[in-house]
Amino acid sequence: MRYLFKTLVAAVGFAGGLAGQAPPAAEKPVGRPEAYRKSAGYYREPHRPQYHFTPEVNWMNDPNGLVYADGEYHLFYQHNPHGNEWGHMSWGHAVSKDLVAWDHLPIALHDEYGVMAFSGSAVADADNTSGLGTRDKPPLVAVYTGHGHGKQTQDLASSVDRGRTWTKFPGNPVLDVGQAEFRDPKVAWHAATKQWVMVVSLAVQKKLQFYGSKDLKAWTHLSDFGPAGVADKPNWECPDLFELPVVGEPGVTRWVLKADMGSGAVAGGSGGEYFLGTFDGKAFTPDAKTSQWVDYGRDFYAPISWSNVPPKDGRRIWIGWMNNWETALNPTAPWRSAMSVPRELTLRRIGGTLRLCQVPVRELEALRGKPEVIENFALSAARPLDTRGRQVEVVLEFDPGTAAEVGVRVLKGGDEQTIVGYDAEAKTVSVDRTKSGNVGFHKAFAGRHAGPLAPEADGRVRLRVLVDRCSVEVFGNRGETVVTDLVFPAAASDRLELFARGGEARVTACRVYPLKSIWPTNEGK
Ligand code: FRU
């Protein structure tokens, strides 16, 4: 716990210690704040994302328990029902039929008797291997970390009513190795060896462990992986493991093993890395010693992928916490933190290297309004766009030509702007939030964050930029490089402009879509 404790103290100024906290006796978990729901300001506060998931009120961190079942994508999340800072970790809950609009549900797992429900995953136990449901009513089973009883253990909870109510397994913990830093189990069915496989993190040792089980209750140690990847980084948490086909290479697949570090990531603070390799139901063998970064911005952490997405859909989709432990106390209330948009994952060979590519799920296109379209023009200075807005998508395709930098400035007004730029010489895409608005709430917040991006085979660079009031997500080309950054501009900073400097670029296509809100409004009622 030492590392996590330190991080959290630094991040959120939590002074009371983390272990053994029970909710104050007089206080009922808030969960569904009826008065707030009826208020005029519901989901319309300054900086409130309009098409990203946020809790109605209070603190959120990692996504948990992502599972698709009975036509619903479940999203659970690390949640403090009692306040807008980290604490009392419980699993908040929401569901979506389309990965776009979310319905809030009551809190699924509460911290009880001081044992908090830390991060974990959920599976649809269709054959009732756990015996926690029946043949007719197979259970959803959540596998999560119990924290606060002097160590971290892996615990179960189950539901037989489509995730509406959850029962903690009386035989908890199901996995206890007496370690204080042992957390964030991701469980999946491994068809070839007919067993459940868990990857879980021995966090401060920077080690992942694999366990196997026939019934989700009795777990056998299979192997360890790590320390590996970026050297000298303090910890690993929130692992994920899944197999993906390589696009364009029939019959070829790789396993992706992802883990996150609480500090020391590419853009500073927390972030994730991934390895590609093979997994035989026992051990993960990486293709190379080196890892790759998941996201080059500062605000994409602890992503996990949905389990049980139907084979006829076949996508691997994940979502991440759009925040950074170092600067987590964002200037927002009465909630804190958003999830990223759900992202579809593919593996593609880009310039000879296999890369994990992320693009927004196609369902989000339903939010698009009528676009501003401009095509085939030379760009060597700033060109203001007609569209104004703080929830917009910019789809940009250009040949950098002789320009040193090409891109789009968003959330612009007064002295404020957030710059999405492509540096043609360095071959990088970046987000510069130095002058993005309120940057003063933490000294590490202002800055520019860049990731490598080569033009595609036709010499063009393609950028897709999703802006949602307090966030900018930039997807380069096929999604091989992503930069996710939070920003806190003034409400009046709603202008956009294309720009090129140091030469002339050719913009082959630019579409700017206003995006609808997914949240109901009480305004004008
Ligand atoms: C990652 C993390 C997890 C832990 C959870 C606690 O952000 O530190 O390792 O389970 O947050 O809220």
- Specify whether the CB–CB gap between 338 and 471 falls below 8 A: yes
What span, in angstroms and rounded, lies between the C-alpha atoms of 56 and 376? 43
The per-residue pLDDT for 14 is 31
Looking at the fold, whether 194 and 315 belong to one and the same domain comes out as yes
Looking at the fold, whether 191 and 140 belong to one and the same domain comes out as yes
pLDDT at position 152 over 50: yes
Atom index in ligand 1 nearest the CA of residue 260 equals 1
Ligand 1: distance of its center to the CA of 104 in Å? 22
The per-residue pLDDT for 525 is 66
Ligand 1: distance of its center to the CA of 219 in Å? 22
Looking at the fold, whether 355 and 373 belong to one and the same domain comes out as no
Residues above pLDDT 70, as percent of the chain: 93
C-alpha 496: how far from chain center = 26
The per-residue pLDDT for 204 is 93
Give tens-digit pLDDT for 206-233.
Answer: 999 999 999 999 999 999 999 999 866 6
Per-residue pLDDT averaged across 461-489, rounded? 98
Q: Is 184 in the pocket of ligand 1 (CB under 6 A)?
A: yes
Residue 472 lies in a domain: yes
Looking at the fold, whether 152 and 192 belong to one and the same domain comes out as yes
Q: How confident is the model at residue 32 (pLDDT cuts 50, 70, 90)?
A: low
Residue 15 lies in a domain: yes
At 229, which CATH number? 2.115.10.20
Domain that holds residue 265: 2-360
Ligand 1: distance of its center to the CA of 170 in Å? 24
Cis preceding linkage at 227, omega within 30: yes
Per-residue pLDDT averaged across 263-280, rounded? 97
What span, in angstroms and rounded, lies between the C-alpha atoms of 116 and 151? 11
Looking at the fold, whether 394 and 477 belong to one and the same domain comes out as yes
Report if pTM > 0.85.
Answer: yes
Q: How confident is the model at residue 520 (pLDDT cuts 50, 70, 90)?
A: confident
Structural domain tally of the chain?
2
Domain boundary among 360, 385, 402: 360
Give tens-digit pLDDT for 76-86.
Answer: 999 999 999 99
At 460, which CATH number? 2.60.120.560
Burial zone of 272 (CB within 10 Å; 0-12 exposed, 13-18 middle, 19+ buried): buried
Q: Is 119 in the pocket of ligand 1 (CB under 6 A)?
A: yes
Give tens-digit pLDDT for 296-313.
Answer: 999 999 999 999 999 999
Phi (first) and psi of residue 9, to 5 degrees: -60, -45
Looking at the fold, whether 268 and 348 belong to one and the same domain comes out as yes
pLDDT at position 29 over 80: no
Residue 28 lies in a domain: yes
Atom index in ligand 1 nearest the CA of residue 301 equals 7
Q: Is 155 in the pocket of ligand 1 (CB under 6 A)?
A: no
Domain boundary among 360, 395, 416: 360
The per-residue pLDDT for 233 is 66
What span, in angstroms and rounded, lies between the C-alpha atoms of 345 and 318? 7
Residue 68 lies in a domain: yes
Which of 27-31, 295-299, 381-385 has the least mean pLDDT? 27-31
Atom index in ligand 1 nearest the CA of residue 238 equals 9
Q: Among candidates 90, 94, 93, which has minimal Cα distance to 110?
A: 90
Give tens-digit pLDDT for 326-342.
Answer: 999 999 999 999 999 99
Per-residue pLDDT averaged across 257-262, rounded? 97
The dihedral through the CA atoms of 304, 245, 449, 396 has a sign that is negative
Q: Is 406 in the pocket of ligand 1 (CB under 6 A)?
A: no
Looking at the fold, whether 449 and 328 belong to one and the same domain comes out as no
Q: 323 to each of 163, 262, 270, 326, 335, how far by Cα in Å? A: 27, 11, 9, 9, 13
pLDDT at position 500 over 50: yes
Q: Is 121 in the pocket of ligand 1 (CB under 6 A)?
A: no
Give tens-digit pLDDT for 425-448.
Answer: 999 999 999 999 999 999 999 999
Looking at the fold, whether 354 and 381 belong to one and the same domain comes out as no
Per-residue pLDDT averaged across 464-471, rounded? 98
Per-residue pLDDT averaged across 366-378, rounded? 98
The per-residue pLDDT for 19 is 33
Domain boundary among 335, 360, 385: 360
Per-residue pLDDT averaged across 401-419, rounded? 98
C-alpha 97: how far from chain center = 19
Residue 168 lies in a domain: yes
The per-residue pLDDT for 305 is 98
Ligand 1: distance of its center to the CA of 55 in Å? 17
Residue 414 lies in a domain: yes
Ligand 1: distance of its center to the CA of 62 in Å? 7
Q: Is 8 in the pocket of ligand 1 (CB under 6 A)?
A: no
Residue 522 lies in a domain: no
Per-residue pLDDT averaged across 54-64, rounded? 97
pLDDT at position 360 over 50: yes
Looking at the fold, whether 305 and 392 belong to one and the same domain comes out as no
Looking at the fold, whether 39 and 58 belong to one and the same domain comes out as yes
Mutate which of 151, 153, 201, 237 to test ligand 1's pocket (most atoms within 8 Å of Cβ)? 237
Looking at the fold, whether 350 and 414 belong to one and the same domain comes out as no
Burial zone of 70 (CB within 10 Å; 0-12 exposed, 13-18 middle, 19+ buried): exposed
Instruction: Specify whether 62 is catalytic.
Output: yes
What span, in angstroms and rounded, lies between the C-alpha atoms of 293 and 233? 13
Looking at the fold, whether 376 and 340 belong to one and the same domain comes out as no
Residue 80 lies in a domain: yes
Beta bridge partners of 246: 347
